[in-house]
Amino acid sequence: MRITIIGLGLVAMSDALSLGRLHDVTVTGPVPDRIEAINRGEFPLQDPALAGYLAEHPVRVRATVNTIAALEQAELVLVASPLRQDPVTGQVDTIELESRIEFAHTMCPGVPIVIRSAVPIGFTARLQQRLDSQWLICAPEFRREGAALQDALNPARLVIGDRGRLGTRVGRVLASAALNPAVTLRQIGPSEAEAVRHAEQAYFAARVAYFNELDSYAMAHGLDARQVIDGVCLDPRIGRSANNPCFGFGGQLMSRSTRQLVDATASVPVHILPGIDEANAVRSSALAASVLQRAPRRVGMYRPGHSAPMTQLADRLRAAGTEILSWDGEPATLDAFKADCDVVIAQRAVPELADLGGKLFCRDHFAA
């Protein structure tokens, strides 16, 4: 099958690589440098599974900045454009996404167009009506940042926002990308599918916030947080997933979905959802206070990849007059970075920080 993917981000790349094992895939977007890299076989995707997957599975993926050429003879179009969000209001801007969908709709009459972006609830139904299109459906993605390819190859489930034959057809194509042939497929309404995606992310945000608050309580009262968490997670209804405290649910996925659900439920008497973001902010304040108790002159932020919770924590420490250094992943500078800092903050207790001893500030209770 000839598949065109509009987008060059995390979702688009993981879709292209997983589908490109069995299909002819063309990706398109307005970033020439990234297009050239893809055509050289250098895929802009941070995932530890990438090198091994490409070594074992040749993929048929090409890239072009020419969207018209990319859509020629396409038998299926996936649209996975990033969505901009106002940092103050939390409102999602869908104008660019809509223009790309409308263009594909005009260029490819009778070809299924699948929305993979995390659109607001009700977006697909409104656009179907406006375009008078029976070929537009949504199929939300469920990818973790840093493990997008792994999740594309081993999905726990596929949710398709169409109950009819078109949804079945699209579901089969997306399922073909999985290495696991027994993928659970659910066909539901478009708005319900959009809601599932956001509700799942918001649930995990609430779970992360809960264990973070439990850890903050243990810090304040001198309790062994791991012992408490281990005891709580013995209950099979709770389980052990996503129970290791961290600095917050950063990135874009959880916070955006939580914001969208809060907006969508504005007229409903809900209490948990609006409190999740507040819990995240309180966690940053508690961690900053704990670091400042050590009276450090210079604090190092160990973050090989960008981490939104660490940015929030760094801002709070900087506001208190603490000098902040960041290490972004350059191996040659790591030793000097560790030596220059009075305290080094890290989300996880990785082996390369083991020599720091008491200089390391990390709330990782389940380090391997």
Distance CA 266, CA 262 (A): 6
What average pLDDT does this structure show over 188-208? Answer: 91
Write down the pTM of the prediction.
0.84
Does 250 score more than 60 pLDDT? no
pLDDT, tens digit, 9 for 90 and up, residues 293-314: 999 999 999 987 656 678 888 9
pLDDT, tens digit, 9 for 90 and up, residues 132-150: 999 999 999 998 878 899 9
What average pLDDT does this structure show over 266-288? Answer: 78
Q: Is 353 helix (H, G, I), strand (E, B) or coil?
A: helix
Q: Enter the tokens of residue 175.
A: 């399922």
What average pLDDT does this structure show over 263-287? Answer: 76
pLDDT of residue 30: 94
Distance CA 165, CA 112 (A): 11
The 3-class secondary structure across 142-188, one letter per residue, is: CCCCCCHHHHHHCCCEEEECCCCHHHHHHHHHHHHCCCCCCCEEEEC
**Residue with structure tokens 């810090």?**
219
Distance CA 334, CA 352 (A): 9
Collect all residues with Cβ–Cβ distance below 8 Å to 79 and sequence separation of at least 6: 5, 6, 7, 97, 100, 101, 104, 113, 114, 115, 116, 117
pLDDT band of residue 1 (cuts 50, 70, 90) is very high
Q: Is 28 helix (H, G, I), strand (E, B) or coil?
A: strand
Domains contained in the chain, CATH given: 2-188 (3.40.50.720), 198-361 (3.40.50.720)
What average pLDDT does this structure show over 316-338? Answer: 92
pLDDT, tens digit, 9 for 90 and up, residues 8-23: 999 999 999 999 999 9
pLDDT, tens digit, 9 for 90 and up, residues 98-119: 999 999 999 999 999 999 999 9
